[in-house]
Structure 1
Amino acid sequence: MTLLDIMRVSPVIPVIAIDSIDQAVPLARALVAGGIRVLEVTLRTEHGIPAIRAMAEQVPDAILGVGTLTLPEEFAAARDAGAVFGVSPGLTPALIDAARHSGLPLLPGVMTPSEVMAAREAGFHQLKLFPAVPAGGLGMLNAIAGPLPDVMFCPTGGISQETAPQFLACKNVACVGGSWLTPKNAMQSGDWQQITELARAASALRQA
């Protein structure tokens, strides 16, 4: 499965920060039950890699990505834990090398046309517009589609369930990233049914 194939599995990729390792497996099961199979588990907490490992072992239907990759050494660790793709907030020469050597497909973050062109020159044609809304949102995506039609995006940052359909309607958007599927209060209280319902609503979003 290519990175573009992964991006097209579901309209929304949840951006997940695990505060307790006990949340990992029930959260993944709740999201998959709602039709959201592609999960981005970030390294914003110390539980990121252990959570990916637990999800990979116990929730085989989940397609796991590792988010907030900022250091080269994180790539191999995430791959070995069970991640099948990576996401970074930006792109540097060291991250390019790490992606190539680890074999972990990378969805790098970009914010400007020059960054899009630099990423494309480095061989990346699937990119994360981040932070999407501050970077120009719909206007930026539509403007970039003209001169750079061979690039597909997963805009992330500031997108909600209400605004997601507008982004998904852009011809150069394969999916969106969002944290609204995993509200902290629901995760802390173990309200997995609420998360399944949010996932079900998100999985019903389709590109126009």
Structure 2
Amino acid sequence: MYFKWTSTCSVGDIDLTTLPRAINSIGKKTMTITIKGPPPVEWTYYEENINRAFPGQFHLPDITKYIIEEDLKNAMIYGMLSWGVNPNYHPLTTTNIATFGQRCDRKAEVGPGSSNLMSELENGFVTKRITLSTPVTSEDCVKNKYATAKVASSQPLIIENSISAGLINLRKGDAEKIVQFFTDYMFEMKKLHSTAEISYSIN
């Protein structure tokens, strides 16, 4: 919020473009914000072997889906409230795709053909799938020596999730402000990778 204080205040002294205000947002359309990029580790899960789990992962996909849903809803609510839109008028729904991903085994050898193997975390995000060409020992796993060209090839991990707000009608400028605040929140909470793409639509 920006104010330019003078001895006599007038509308011209206030930057109205930065001020949240109550917006009549009720309508019949749906606004959808879509994120496409590497997921934070909390949006992934492991299965049976905890020795192949990343720190921060949960065992059950249902828990992971709940975390994704809450993260997206919190960001949308923050974006709406920051720009004067009452989220109580707009039902929120999410596509919460939980990704199964595991690291190499900290206690045993992992051979070629192991599925859903991921590279080590990068600043809390799972960014690559790994395909092994040679076995990886537990020692090399602990030392993070498996994600190299000699033993594996990698492919970027790109996951798409979205959140929709129903019964809405917004001008383009208002929608873009909500998306901006949504994005700021996701970055601040470390849920959005620096390479992620964010798009929105109102239909």
TM-score range, shorter chain: under 0.3
> Which TM-score applies when normalising by structure 1?
0.25
> Which TM-score applies when normalising by structure 2?
0.25
Task: Work out which structure has the larger RCO, using CA pairs closer than 8 Å and 6 or more positions apart in sequence.
Answer: 2
> Whose helix proportion is higher, 1 or 2?
1
Task: State which structure, 1 or 2, has the greater radius of gyration over its C-alpha atoms.
Answer: 2
